[in-house]
Chains A and B, each alone.
Chain A
Amino acid sequence: MSEDTRVPPGNVLRYSFPERLVHWLAGFSYVYLMLTGLAFWSPWLFWLAFALGGGTISRELHSWVGLIFVVAVLLMFRMWHRQMHETAVDKEWWDAIPHYIRNEDEYVPTVGRFNGGQKLLFWGFLWCGLFLLLSGLILWFPNWVPWNLRYLRYIAVIVHPSLALITIGLFIIHVYMGLAMERGALISMTRGYVTIAFAKRYHGLWYNRVADDPSAKNETP
């Protein structure tokens, strides 16, 4: 188990310091992107651009923060992709999703370090992030796109906001789960640990593994 986090008795380490750092790099950069993006999305929200640096500045920063966000997502990919492949238990978990939604957790199969929903969020942000980057680069430098390649701009103009909307959906559900639904999840991403009850309930397979061998590396689903 990593040395970088002090885990109080009755708790287990869930996220190491580097994992927490990368997560919040992605989180804060995303929130800035979402708010400035929404400012350019709707005239009713354009005041957000003034609150976040002024129109010209927030337009410029949106692009640079976009690069930071994509770097964070790629780091996340490097840390977690091995644990994010769907397993047989995840399929059972998805089958039990109505129970999960109704908080009937006793009917929900116990899963590994991440459940099916968390895996979907991860892949959703990865793919949306990559295509937001590609379309964002075209929108960033419209004057570099020659007139006979203008179709690239027409594609970017529709792809960028559509994918941004998908990520906003993922983001809202993610925040709701983390702050309101699974009590204790927020501490796991700030201080790094969860209670043993939390670990057993939501990630029993993972808990069995780390309880048997606290030095086990989080490398498998």
Chain B
Amino acid sequence: MSSAGFEIRAISGHAGPVPGAGLKREFEVCKLIDTTTCIGCKACEVACLEWNGYSFSETKFDNSYQTMPETSWNYWNLIKFNEHEDPDHGLMLLMRKDQCMHCEEPGCLAACPADNAIVQYVNGIVDFQQEHCIGCGYCISGCPFNIPKFSPDARKVFKCTLCVDRVSEGLEPACIKACPTGCLHFGTKPEMKELAETRAEQLREHSGFANAGVYDPAGISGTHVIYVLHDASNPENYGGLPSNPRIPWTVQLWKHPLKWIGNLAIVGGLLGLVVHYLRFGPKTLEEDKQKKPGAGQ
């Protein structure tokens, strides 16, 4: 089972109900990222590496301040830099801290076939259990945010844990701890939602960002990492943040209707053959009839 002692809500690839479901009530946690006060210092990138014990990877320069094009299996937290020409505000440098969103409906977990390789706690954290991961990479196809990354050496998949090991000890995630501007916050989901809405209202009323808003996408029933954006109507501008993320529909088709159609067809087919055999029996040849007169009809 998982390393953190949290109450579990969902288990990947698990036959039957979640053991001990509903025993305890727990707060839903949330990380709030205010892109409007991020200065792109990357302290959170370093803190993430430090806490999780990875060494600094080679950077890949792509004409921006960004450390590398995407997060990787040993680099879970990446500030995405985007230049944006805004009609009202001129040239803006948009900075968005990219990491696992800890979806309320995690596509990674829905797609995973291995029992216990991904668990979702009642507090909203989605945590990969590498000792149970079989390295199939289905989670990569389930995630709408391009987050789970395969390690060719470990042959397993890794991503941000929302510092589940710190949170279970009552600490905030390492990135929150490191942020010098206070653009990162950690608390319960209702608290963070309220703080985010207050900030968005401030931006709309006092800073001239008429479209400022909170990113907590409904297509996956919300996330446990939420953003304040200057322009919530164009999340794509922030390093490709999807405007309406959903679990890919083929993944849903595969995990729901196809599963039931397939199971019914296999079981129904096998039962049909048993009935056929009982009704008609094997085919007989002339030679069988000669050997055993009267047999076969």
Cross-chain contact A59 with B282 (CB below 8 angstroms): no
Chain-B contact segment, one of A16-24, A42-50, A121-129, A212-220: A42-50
- Against A, the Cβ 8 Å flags (1 = close, 0 = not) of B259-280 are 1001101100110010011001
Interface presence of A161 (CB below 8 A): yes
Cross-chain contact B15 with A139 (CB below 8 angstroms): no
Interface presence of A88 (CB below 8 A): no
Binding site for A on B (CB under 8 A): 13-15, 70, 111, 113-115, 132-138, 140-141, 146, 149-150, 152, 155, 248-251, 253-254, 258-259, 262-263, 265-266, 269-270, 273, 276-277, 280-288
Q: In this complex, what residue of B is CB-closest to A102?
A: B280
Q: Roughly how many angstroms separate A143 CA and B141 CA in the complex, as a whole number?
A: 10
Interface presence of A211 (CB below 8 A): no
Q: Roughly how many angstroms separate A103 CA and B152 CA in the complex, as a whole number?
A: 55
Q: Roughly how many angstroms separate A42 CA and B149 CA in the complex, as a whole number?
A: 24
List of 8 A-B pairs having minimum Cβ-Cβ separation, nearest first: A142-B137, A55-B134, A143-B150, A158-B250, A43-B15, A40-B113, A197-B287, A154-B250
Q: Roughly how many angstroms separate A56 CA and B270 CA in the complex, as a whole number?
A: 30
Cross-chain contact B149 with A143 (CB below 8 angstroms): yes
Q: Roughly how many angstroms separate A19 CA and B88 CA in the complex, as a whole number?
A: 75
Cross-chain contact B134 with A157 (CB below 8 angstroms): no
Cross-chain contact B283 with A169 (CB below 8 angstroms): no
Q: Roughly how many angstroms separate A173 CA and B251 CA in the complex, as a whole number?
A: 29
Binding site for B on A (CB under 8 A): 39-44, 46, 49, 55-56, 58-60, 101-103, 105, 139, 142-143, 147, 150, 153-155, 157-158, 161-162, 165, 168-169, 172-173, 176, 180-184, 195, 197-198, 201
Contacts of A44 in B (CB 8 A): 15
Cross-chain contact A195 with B141 (CB below 8 angstroms): no
Cross-chain contact A165 with B115 (CB below 8 angstroms): no
Query: Among the listed A139, A168, A172, A183, which residue makes an inter-chain contact with B282, where contact means beta carbons less than 8 Å apart?
Result: A183
Cross-chain contact B141 with A165 (CB below 8 angstroms): no
Cross-chain contact A143 with B280 (CB below 8 angstroms): no
Cross-chain contact B250 with A157 (CB below 8 angstroms): yes
* Best-buried of B149, B150, B280, B283 by chain A (most CB within 10 Å): B283
Cross-chain contact B114 with A154 (CB below 8 angstroms): no
Contacts of B288 in A (CB 8 A): 183
List 16 other contacts, CB 8 Å, given A102-B280, A143-B137.
A41-B113, A43-B14, A43-B115, A55-B114, A58-B134, A143-B152, A154-B141, A154-B250, A157-B138, A169-B265, A169-B266, A172-B266, A172-B270, A183-B288, A197-B285, A201-B285
Q: Roughly how many angstroms separate A143 CA and B159 CA in the complex, as a whole number?
A: 14
Contacts of B133 in A (CB 8 A): 56
Question: Can you list 13 contacts pairing A with B, beta carbon distance less than 8 Å?
Answer: A43-B13, A46-B13, A46-B15, A139-B137, A142-B141, A143-B149, A161-B254, A165-B262, A173-B269, A181-B282, A183-B288, A195-B285, A197-B286
CB distance from B279 to the nearest CB of A (A): 9
Cross-chain contact A158 with B258 (CB below 8 angstroms): yes
Also in contact, A172 and B258, with CB within 8 A (given A103-B281, A201-B285): no
Q: In this complex, what residue of B is CB-closest to A196?
A: B287
Q: In this complex, what residue of A is CB-closest to B13?
A: A43
Contacts of A56 in B (CB 8 A): 133-135, 155
CB distance from A60 to the nearest CB of B (A): 8
CB distance from A195 to the nearest CB of B (A): 6
* Best-buried of B13, B269, B277, B280 by chain A (most CB within 10 Å): B13
Q: Roughly how many angstroms separate A128 CA and B150 CA in the complex, as a whole number?
A: 28
Cross-chain contact B14 with A168 (CB below 8 angstroms): no
Query: Among the listed A46, A139, A184, which residue makes an inter-chain contact with B115, where contact means beta carbons less than 8 Å apart?
Result: A46
Q: Roughly how many angstroms separate A71 CA and B272 CA in the complex, as a whole number?
A: 32
Cross-chain contact B136 with A59 (CB below 8 angstroms): yes
